[in-house]
């Protein structure tokens, strides 16, 4: 799939089934995505990914259950286990680096977008999730995150459900009023 087709046809996929990419395929795709602009050679990158399947997702649901007593364990699990793979993105702020935090976040976002396009080009479906994962007060400690680390979100990844209604291509929008030229 060429890059224009990938950009114009990629959509968030909510109904995901097995198979999802295995760890090796995920690493392969991430290696390519990591060629995204990194605002001043931020290597090692200000991010890392935590791949969760099965029991790992149950642990996350247990941790979040402390903060959401209004939801049953089954409800929390249903919110988390929507795909065979949940790739959680951890941002590790590089303190004292010459590249400001905002640019570190921009580089992390560029890599994540490239990863979404590569997943799509390989026939996988994915959707970016945030919410309670990112606002939890207990989950970071349970995952062993350091003081300079935080969850930015997670990609739910799998194969698109063939019985789901087909997604429409997103129509191009007029961006003319978002561009200015100074001569």
Domain parsing of the chain, residue ranges = 3-162
Q: What is the reported pTM?
A: 0.91
Per-residue pLDDT at 77 exceeds 80: no
Q: Residue 67 and residue 137: Cα distance in Å, rounded? A: 8
Could you please state the CATH topology (level 3) that the domain comprising 3-162 is classified under: NADH Oxidase (3.40.109)
Predicted confidence (pLDDT) per residue in 6-60, tens digit: 998 999 999 999 999 999 999 999 999 999 988 777 777 889 999 999 888 878 8
**Chain-wide mean pLDDT for the chain?**
90
Query: How many helices and strands in the chain, by DSSP H and E?
Result: 7, 5
Query: CA-based diameter of the chain, in Å?
Result: 60
What is the Cα–Cα distance from 145 to 141, expressed in whole angstroms?
6
Q: Kindly indicate the confidence band of residue 106, based on its pLDDT and cuts at 50, 70 and 90.
A: very high
């Amino acid at each position: 799939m060429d890059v224009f087709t990938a950009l114009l046809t990629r959509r968030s996929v909510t109904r995901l089934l097995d198979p999802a990419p295995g760890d090796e395929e995920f690493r392969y795709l991430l290696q390519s995505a990591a060629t995204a602009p990194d605002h001043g050679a931020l290597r090692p990158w200000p991010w890392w990914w935590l791949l969760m399947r099965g029991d790992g997702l149950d642990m996350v649901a247990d941790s979040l259950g402390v903060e959401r007593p209004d939801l049953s364990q089954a409800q929390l699990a249903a919110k988390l286990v929507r795909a065979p793979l949940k790739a959680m993105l951890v941002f590790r702020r590089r303190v004292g680096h010459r590249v400001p935090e905002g640019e570190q976040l921009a580089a992390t976002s560029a890599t994540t977008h490239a990863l979404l396009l590569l997943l799509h080009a390989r026939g996988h479906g994915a959707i970016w999730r945030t919410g309670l994962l990112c606002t939890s007060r207990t989950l970071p400690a349970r995952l062993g995150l350091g003081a300079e680390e935080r969850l930015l979100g997670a990609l739910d990844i799998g194969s698109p459900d063939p019985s789901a209604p087909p997604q429409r291509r997103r129509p191009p929008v007029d961006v003319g009023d978002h561009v200015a030229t100074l001569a």
